[in-house]
């Protein structure tokens, strides 16, 4: 089915809303997998929605995927830290549930499939396959590193502030 006449994903506002809604739903699903209670699943939805909204805005501003992912993870980490004591959900669990939808699975799949194709008896254009696979692997690696760093910074800052007091 083609819904392009109803929803124009080329419209920046529609794209932000689309990614926010579906990022939140994905994070809520991961919250279920992480055994977060039903009352706290809405916090997962909010965390994932925030992450994908910030990343989408960053990408629309022309940022690289790692930079946009870092900014989104930092926003999630700061937001979760601000509300964590009031909601009673583990900060790490909520951070991870909110950020997992940002993992670039498409690039990871392309990298893995490219490496499998390279292992064939006589691969077609092995140089191109290798360059494409390594490029996709680097995109995944840098994005995941950026997500981990962005989530870690708020708790590290809190620890340093706690030591200074």
- Assigned token pair, 66: 């790692």
Say which residues have a Cβ less than 8 Å from residue 33's Cβ, sequence separation at least 6. Answer: none
Q: Which residue has the tokens 């960053």?
A: 58
**CA dist., res. 15 & res. 36, Å (int):** 28
Contacts of 102 (CB under 8 A, 6+ apart): 23, 51, 52, 55, 69, 72, 73, 143, 147
CB under 8 Å to 37, separation ≥6 — which residues? none
Q: Which residues contact 58 (CB under 8 A, 6 or more apart)?
A: 67, 68, 71, 72
Report d(CA 63, CA 143) in Å as an integer.
12
Tens-digit pLDDT string for the chain (165 aa): 666 667 777 888 999 999 999 999 999 999 999 998 888 899 999 999 999 999 999 999 999 999 999 999 999 999 999 888 788 788 888 999 999 999 999 999 999 999 999 998 888 899 999 999 999 999 999 999 999 999 999 989 987 776 665
Domain ranges of the chain: 12-164
Burial of 94: CB neighbours in 10 Å, binned 0-12, 13-18, 19+: buried
pTM, 2 dp: 0.87
Ramachandran sector of residue 66 (left: φ over 0; alpha: ψ -120 to 50; beta: rest): alpha
């Amino acid at each position: 089915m083609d819904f392009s006449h109803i929803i124009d994903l080329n419209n920046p506002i529609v794209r932000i809303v689309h990614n926010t809604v579906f990022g939140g739903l994905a994070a809520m699903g991961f919250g279920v997998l992480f055994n977060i209670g039903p009352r706290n699943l809405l916090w997962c939805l909010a965390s994932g929605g925030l992450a994908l909204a910030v990343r989408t805005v960053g990408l629309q501003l022309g940022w690289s995927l790692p930079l946009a992912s870092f900014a989104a993870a930092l926003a999630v980490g700061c937001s979760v830290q601000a509300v964590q004591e009031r909601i009673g959900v583990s900060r790490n669990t909520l951070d991870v549930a909110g950020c997992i939808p940002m993992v670039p699975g498409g690039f990871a799949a392309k990298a893995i499939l490219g490496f499998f194709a390279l292992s064939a008896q006589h691969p077609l254009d092995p140089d191109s396959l290798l360059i494409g696979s390594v490029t996709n692997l680097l995109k995944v690696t840098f994005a995941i590193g950026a997500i981990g760093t962005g989530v870690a910074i708020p708790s590290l800052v809190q620890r340093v502030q706690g030591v200074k007091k």
